[in-house]
Amino acid sequence: MATEFNLTVNKRNISGKSKIKNMRRENKIPGIYYSHDSKQSISLYINSNDLISAQKSDAKIFTINVGNKKRNVLFKSVQYHPVTDEVLHVDLYGIKMDQLVSVNIGVELIGTPKGVIEEGGILTQGIADLEIECLPNNIPGNIQIDVSDLSLGDVLRVQDITKQKNVTIKTNEDQIIASITQAMKEEVVEEEIIDIDDEEGDSTEEDSSEEQSEKPDKNNKEESNE
C-alpha cells in the first residue's frame, strides 16, 4: 500500500519570469495543481526544504491543503535545471482514491545473473522505470525483478515479468528490461613504426637522381653544335 505524506503548499498570486526568478532565489519552488479532471488549476509554490523532505519520503501520494480544501495529489512532473539539477517547477495532479491512476515507478534488479558469475557476461539494464495503472493506495514503491537465472545472451522483456497483484503494467511488453551481453575484448593494435630519416633520405636520393637525369649534358650540346 502506498504511503501518504502531508505536503505544505502555498497559493501563488504572482507570475512573470522576473518574479518567478526572485521566488526561486527565496527557495520557493513554483508549481501548479491540476484537478483529477483537469478542469481546475491553482498556482502555488512549495518551500524547497518541504519539497526535499517530500522527495526523500519515497511516498507516492501527497496530501495538500490548497483553496481551503484537503486534496490528494501525485507529482505529475518535476522540471529540473539542465546543469545544476535544481528543481524549477512542479506539477501536482489531483486524484480520487477510488479511481485508477497511471504513474511511473522504478525498476530494481535484484540478484547476480549466472551469466555474469559463470560466463563473464555483463548485465545491462534497458529501462529504469515502468508505467503502471492501479488505484492510488496500491501504488508500489518499485517493482523488483530477480535476474539471477539470466545466462549469457538472455534478454528479459516486460512481457516476462510476473503479473503484479492489483497492478496493470502499461509499458510496451517488447521493451527490454535487462540483458546479459558478452564483455568486449580489448584489441591491441600494432602500429607500424616508420623511420622518418630513412624515408626522407630515400626521397632525397630520388630527387637528386631525377635532377641529374633532367640536367642537360654540356658535352653532347657542344658536339651537336659542331
What residue spans of 26-174 are helical by DSSP H?
48-56, 114-117
Domain that holds residue 115: 103-181
Q: Is 168 helix (H, G, I), strand (E, B) or coil?
A: strand
Instruction: Indicate if 50 and 133 belong to the same structural domain.
Output: no
* 216 belongs to a structural domain: no
Same domain, 30 and 113: no
Q: Which position has the higher pLDDT, 149 or 202? A: 149
Task: State which amino acid sits at residue 195.
Answer: D
Cα distance between residue 194 and residue 15, in whole Å: 68
Q: Name the least confident of 4-8, 38-42, 94-98.
A: 38-42
Same domain, 177 and 160: yes
Which set of grid coordinates corresponds to residue 32?
501548479
Number of domains in the chain: 2
pLDDT of residue 76: 87
Residues 48, 109 share a domain: no
The CATH number given to whatever domain includes residue 16 is 2.40.240.10
State the pLDDT at residue 38: 73
- Domain identity same for 26 and 41: yes
On whether residue 222 sits in a domain, the answer given is: no
The predicted structure's pLDDT at residue 163: 86
Does some domain include residue 189?
Answer: no
CATH code: domain of residue 116: 2.170.120.20
Strands (E), 13-154: 28-34, 41-47, 61-65, 70-80, 87-94, 101-110, 122-125, 129-134, 142-146
CB-count burial class (<10 Å; 0-12, 13-18, 19+) for 103: buried
The answer on 116 and 65 residing in a single domain is: no
Are residues 127 and 143 part of one domain?
yes
**Same domain flag for 86 and 37:** yes
Overall pTM surpassing 0.85 (yes/no): no
Higher pLDDT, 133 or 59: 133
CA proximity to 180, closest of 142, 138, 208, 148: 148
